[in-house]
Amino acid sequence: MKGLLTALLVTTASLAGLNAAQAQTKEKVFFLLPNTTTIRFENRDAPFFVEAMKVARPDAQVTVQNAQGDPQQQQRQIEDAISQGASLILLTSADANLVAGALAAAQTANVPVVLYDHDAVGGKAEAHVVFDSLAVGQAQGKRAAELISKMSKSPVKVARVKGNQGEYGTGQYEKGQNEFLQPLIDSGKVKVVCEQYTQNWDPTLAQSFAEDCLTKNGGDVDVFVGMNDGTTGGSVAALISQGFKAGDKLVTGGQDATVEALRYVVQGWQDNSVLKDLKVEATEAAKVVASILDGKGVPQDLVNGKVNNQFMDVPAILLPVENITKDNLGEVVTKGIWTWKEICQGIESTEVCKANM
């Protein structure tokens, strides 16, 4: 009996040791977010990625951390992830221009980095999973140009509320918008009365800029063209703070189809938002991560472009986008992104919500 007990204890101890070893060797994936001002990353992208990884790589341990808009904090998070034995880092940079050192540290430690949505300048990355940024800008510019062309006034006074300066995305959005806006500027139909980049995409900074622009021009600003729902939301907040009503000014150039922006679309404060199906982005990122962890590298059947980050041409998985206005708002419901109940919360009395609730 004593021998049997001893054997059981040894076996139990061996199993405990094995479980501990397995826990120590469990693959560690760190998803590093940029900020909380762009609310989609914490509210949508991170949960979607965690769920997608349960399917693509169920044994991997996923840790999500947010840099709170601080590039130095993100640098420390990357270094900490490396010291914890990270198998891979999925990175949405807090500032694309201040991450080269962190990328170099990851490369030295042989920790692969996959870029998610934001670019990262000056270092090695295995892949970049991102919506087609040029197509986003083109959709924004085309919509703005269509609406401006219908205005009888000339020149139409436009304020451009741009994204974070120096980012690949911001540059592509601007390039895409300019394809449609520049001809109107050159012809004299459009006069840009204010324009400014928005550090870290901060909606409060976008609001301050829009308020200053309205004040400087005595309220005579016809159109605010943003680059995401944070910057357009800042413009809407500025209009509300200065006593304007929905429809008094045109606010366009949204992106991300956040539920808050869609409520503005329903109410007439904002004209559009470019839909990026974040569940698709997170799922594609999980596929890339799982393939790299399997030792198979980036799945070449997913790669359909490249993003030059001043260090290399990063293989890119460019995802499609769709412009959402009041006319096709139901698309976000059909795709399972939001429900009418979520969109119409607090605005149930609007015509759109009465028709769909």
- Using 70 as the pLDDT threshold, list the residues of the chain that sit under it: 1-25
90 DSSP 8-state letter: E
> Tell me, what's the pLDDT at 337?
87
Three-state secondary structure call for residue 63: strand
Contacts of 265 (CB under 8 A, 6+ apart): 254, 271, 272, 273, 324, 325, 326, 329
Q: How far apart are CA 96 and CA 65, in angstroms?
A: 17
Cα gap 283→52, rounded to integer Å: 5
* pLDDT tens profile 56-89: 999 999 999 999 999 999 999 999 999 999 999 9
329: tokens are: 């708002």
Nearest 5 degrees, angle CA 57-CA 62-CA 67? 145
Q: Are 237 and 270 in contact (CB under 8 A)?
A: no
pLDDT of residue 18: 42
pTM given for the model: 0.79
**Digit-coded pLDDT (tens) for 167-217:** 889 999 999 999 999 999 999 999 999 999 999 899 999 999 999 999 999
Q: Where do we find the tokens 């596929």? A: 287
Instruction: Centre a 10 Å sphere on the Cβ of residue 279 and count the other Cβ atoms it contains.
Output: 17
Predicted pLDDT of residue 75: 96
Residue type, 302: L
Question: In the chain, what are the domains?
Answer: 26-125+277-319 (3.40.50.2300), 133-276+322-356 (3.40.50.2300)
CB atoms within 10 A of CB 182: 13
Query: What would the two tokens of residue 224 be?
Result: 């605010």
Cα 110 to the chain's mean position, in Å?
27
Residue-level pLDDT at 15: 46
Q: What is the pLDDT of residue 245?
A: 96
| Closest residue by Cα to residue 67 from 106, 94, 103, 47 | 94
